[in-house]
Chain A
Amino acid sequence: MKADATLDCIGLYCPMPIAHTAKKINEMEEGQVLEVLADDEGIKDDMPAWCKMTGNECLGIEQGEGRELKVYVRKSKKE
């Protein structure tokens, strides 16, 4: 999947990937896609949950090399 920016959260545990994602998404434009690299499995449930709460869109989660996960988030319009 193509992304406008990448955030490296490898080696970080909850709540840091979410905290960093929130900060990064805040700096991005509406419609842009953020790729989050993570290896804490919790992100598989956490990112969709975070997106649901914040109104952003979780486009999907891909398995990278080894334990690496690639999570794609699209910044949605603020209501």
Chain B
Amino acid sequence: MPEKVTLVVFSGELDKVLAAFNIAVGAASSGMEVSMFFTFWGLNIIKKNEGPIRSRGIMKKMLNFMNRGGAKRLPLSKFNMFGLGKWMMVKLMKDAKTPSLGEMIELAAGMGVKFMACTTSMGMMGVSKEALIPQVNSYCGVATYLSEARDSKINLFI
């Protein structure tokens, strides 16, 4: 039985999310079984970059307009400066040849990292399945996360 790693990805900020994917890819490369549970702002990571806002209701529409999400749109947790800081960080990453978040998502999915989307956050925030990337393996709640986490040696909340 391979060792298991479970990551709760609550944040939707590029820097924190990159750390989460770094750990996920590293663990998967080391033969571990990795699950990432995306909840609350973390849903922004697995939202599609393109496509219309499909939310119903004025408040949910507004929320998803303001909080558009998509791997390309995540801000930095620090020095975002209305996107200027983020632009610079992305430039530095390109110069250092580190993979973009989009590439990390592809890499993780290709290595068999399991993507779980929190249905509670989806329902409350008005995020439909169609708004999420196809790499998401399961739509579930806390019980599924807990059943994965109790078998995991490593369990992080990011």
Instruction: Tell me the residues in window 111-140 of chain B with beta carbons closer than 8 Å to chain A beta carbons.
Output: 111
- Which B-chain residue is minimally distant from A20 (CB atoms)? B29
Query: Which residues of chain B have C-beta atoms less than 8 A from A15's C-beta?
Result: 22, 25-26, 29
Alpha-carbon gap, A15 to B111, bound state (A):
13
CB–CB B31/A53 < 8 A: yes
Query: Which residues of chain B have C-beta atoms less than 8 A from A22's C-beta?
Result: 28-31
CB–CB A18/B99 < 8 A: no
Dominant SS among interface residues on chain A: helix
CB–CB B26/A14 < 8 A: yes
CB–CB A18/B30 < 8 A: yes
Alpha-carbon gap, A23 to B28, bound state (A):
11
B107 at the interface (CB under 8 A from A): yes
What are the interface flags for A43-79 relative to B under an 8 Å C-beta threshold, 1 for contact and 0 otherwise?
Answer: 0000000100110000000000000000000000000
Contact A14/B97 with A22-B29, A54-B30 known, Cβ cut-off 8 Å: no
> Could you tell me which B residues sit within 8 Å of A by CB distance?
22, 25-26, 28-32, 96-99, 107, 111
